[in-house]
Copies of this chain bind each other. A is one copy, B any other.
Amino acid sequence: MPGLRAPSDYSGEPPRHPCLRINSKEPFNAEPPRSLLISSYLTPADFFYKRNHGPVPIIDNIERYFISISALIEKPRQLWMKDIRILPKYNVAATLQCAGNRRTAMSKNKVVKGVGWGVSAIGNAVWSGAKLADVLELVGIPKLTSITQPGGKHVEFVSIDKCKEENGGPYKVSIPLDQATNPDADVLLAYEMNGEPLNRDHGYPLRVVVPGVIGARSVKWLDSINIIAEESQCVICSLEDVSTIKPGKVKISGYAVAGGGRGIETVDVSVDGGRTWLEASRFQKSGIPYVADDANSDKWAWVLFEITVDILHSTEIIAKAVDSAANVQPQQVEDIWNLRGILNTSWHRVHVQAGHSNM
C-alpha cells in the first residue's frame, strides 16, 4: 500500500523502553516487569506489552494511507484517515491481553508451545477512534438491530505486516459480523492510545481494538477489512477432471451449498470459459425417503443441480453458485489460497476432451 510499507527485515524497528523483558527479539515480543505494570490504571504505551508477528511497518507517506473494505459482491471501498476521523470519536477504556499471558506458569505443569510469557502480557488503555459499526454503516452494511441468524458472516481484519506464522503473508483474524455491527460491542478502529497518536509498536496509524476477547483479534497496522461468508461451494460431480465425452448433449450435475443458513439462489454453468452462463435446475426434492420438519426448507442443506448442454469441442466447464444474500464465489483458487488449505470456495472447473470415435 502506498503510504505504509511492510519491511522484510528488522533494521527499521522503533526504539523500546529498556525496562521491558524481551521474550522474542524478532518479531519483537516483550512485557514490563510485574511491579511496574500496576503502577497506574492506564498503562503507558512504552510499558504496554508488545506482541508483533513480523517487522514493524514503516510509514513512507501518511497522507497516502488508506484502508480497503470489501464485501464480496462489491468493488472494494477505500477509506482515508479523514473519512474515519470525520465519524464520531469514542474513547473506550479496554484491557488487552495476550492469550499466552501466564503461559510460563502453564509450562511448569507440562511443556507447551509458544512465546514464554510471564504475567504481564496485558495492559489497560483508553483507545480512541471510530466505532467499527459506524465505519461499516458508511460502506452500506447496516447496524445490528435484532437477533440474526448465527453462523453466517465474519469480518476479517488484515494487517499490512509480513507475519512469521503466515510464511510472510499478512497477519489476519476475524470476528463475527454480529459483533462488528453491534455498537454496544465497542469495537473500534483506533488512532489514539491514552490521548496520544498510536506509536509504531501499537499499530500506527490505525488499529482494531476488540474489547473483551483475546488481544490477537485487535489487529495493528490495518490494511483491509473483508466481509466473508462461510463455505459457499459449488461442485460438478458428474464429470471427473479430465473426462472424455462424446460431442453432443452432456448432462452436468453436482451440489451447491451456502454457509450460515443462507439458501442457494441459483447455480450457473458455463461451457465457454465463463463468457456465457446457463442456469441449472434443481432436483433434490424428489425421492426423499425421510423428511425434515419443514420439507420446503433447504436452509441448512445442499442443493443438487443439473443441466444438459451441447458440447462440441474440448473445453473447460465452470459452475458457480449465488446464495440468497447475493454472495458469489471467488473466481480463482489463487485468490483464497491459505497454508492450511481450508475453505476452498472458488468456482469449480473441470476440463473435458471431446472424443470422436469408439465412445
B333 and A257: CB pair below 8 A? Answer: no
Residues in chain B near residue A122, CB distance under 8 A: 233, 235, 255, 257, 302
User: Taking the complex as formed, is A144 at the interface, i.e. its CB lies under 8 A from any CB of chain B?
Assistant: yes
Number of interface residues of A (CB under 8 A): 100
> How many copies altogether?
2
Give Cα A176–Cα B102 distance, bound, in whole angstroms. 24
Quick one: CB contact mask for A93-131 with B, threshold 8 Å, 1 for yes?
111010111110111111011100001101010100000
Give Cα A352–Cα B220 distance, bound, in whole angstroms. 39
B182 and A34: CB pair below 8 A? Answer: no
Quick one: CB contact mask for A15-29 with B, threshold 8 Å, 1 for yes?
000000000000000
Residues in chain B near residue A302, CB distance under 8 A: 95, 122, 124
Residues in chain B near residue A92, CB distance under 8 A: 292-293, 300
B301 and A100: CB pair below 8 A? Answer: no
| Interface SS majority for chain A | loop
A119 and B235: CB pair below 8 A? Answer: yes
A151 and B237: CB pair below 8 A? Answer: no
User: Taking the complex as formed, is A38 at the interface, i.e. its CB lies under 8 A from any CB of chain B?
Assistant: yes
User: Taking the complex as formed, is A247 at the interface, i.e. its CB lies under 8 A from any CB of chain B?
Assistant: no
User: Taking the complex as formed, is A140 at the interface, i.e. its CB lies under 8 A from any CB of chain B?
Assistant: no
Give Cα A283–Cα B94 distance, bound, in whole angstroms. 17
- With contacts A100-B341, A300-B92 taken as known, whether A230 is within 8 angstroms of B212 at the C-beta atoms is yes
A126 and B38: CB pair below 8 A? Answer: no
A237 CB contact (under 8 Å) in B34, B101, B259, B342:
B34
A97 CB contact (under 8 Å) in B112, B233, B289, B334:
B233
A40 CB contact (under 8 Å) in B95, B214, B287, B338:
B287
User: Taking the complex as formed, is A359 at the interface, i.e. its CB lies under 8 A from any CB of chain B?
Assistant: no
A211 and B119: CB pair below 8 A? Answer: no
A292 and B213: CB pair below 8 A? Answer: no
Closest Cβ–Cβ distance, residue A257 to chain B (whole Å): 5
Give Cα A212–Cα B148 distance, bound, in whole angstroms. 14
A290 and B126: CB pair below 8 A? Answer: yes
User: Taking the complex as formed, is A288 at the interface, i.e. its CB lies under 8 A from any CB of chain B?
Assistant: yes
B147 and A147: CB pair below 8 A? Answer: yes
A101 CB contact (under 8 Å) in B119, B298, B344:
B344
Residues 245 to 286 of chain A near chain B (Cβ within 8 Å): 253-255, 257, 259-261, 283-286
Closest Cβ–Cβ distance, residue A185 to chain B (whole Å): 5
B194 and A289: CB pair below 8 A? Answer: yes
- With contacts A126-B292, A176-B176, A302-B95 taken as known, whether A35 is within 8 angstroms of B151 at the C-beta atoms is no
Residues in chain B near residue A253, CB distance under 8 A: 38
Give Cα A185–Cα B152 distance, bound, in whole angstroms. 10
Residues in chain B near residue A35, CB distance under 8 A: 237-238
B212 and A304: CB pair below 8 A? Answer: no
Q: List 6 A-B contacts (CB under 8 A).
A: A41-B287, A42-B289, A93-B292, A93-B298, A99-B340, A151-B213
In the A-B complex, the 5 residue pairs with the smallest Cβ-Cβ separation, listed nearest first, are A112-B341, A211-B300, A93-B292, A102-B344, A150-B179
> Contacts A42-B290, A119-B235, A195-B289 given; 16 further ones with Cβ under 8 A?
A35-B238, A41-B285, A93-B291, A93-B292, A97-B257, A99-B231, A103-B341, A106-B336, A110-B337, A112-B337, A122-B302, A147-B184, A149-B212, A150-B176, A211-B299, A212-B260
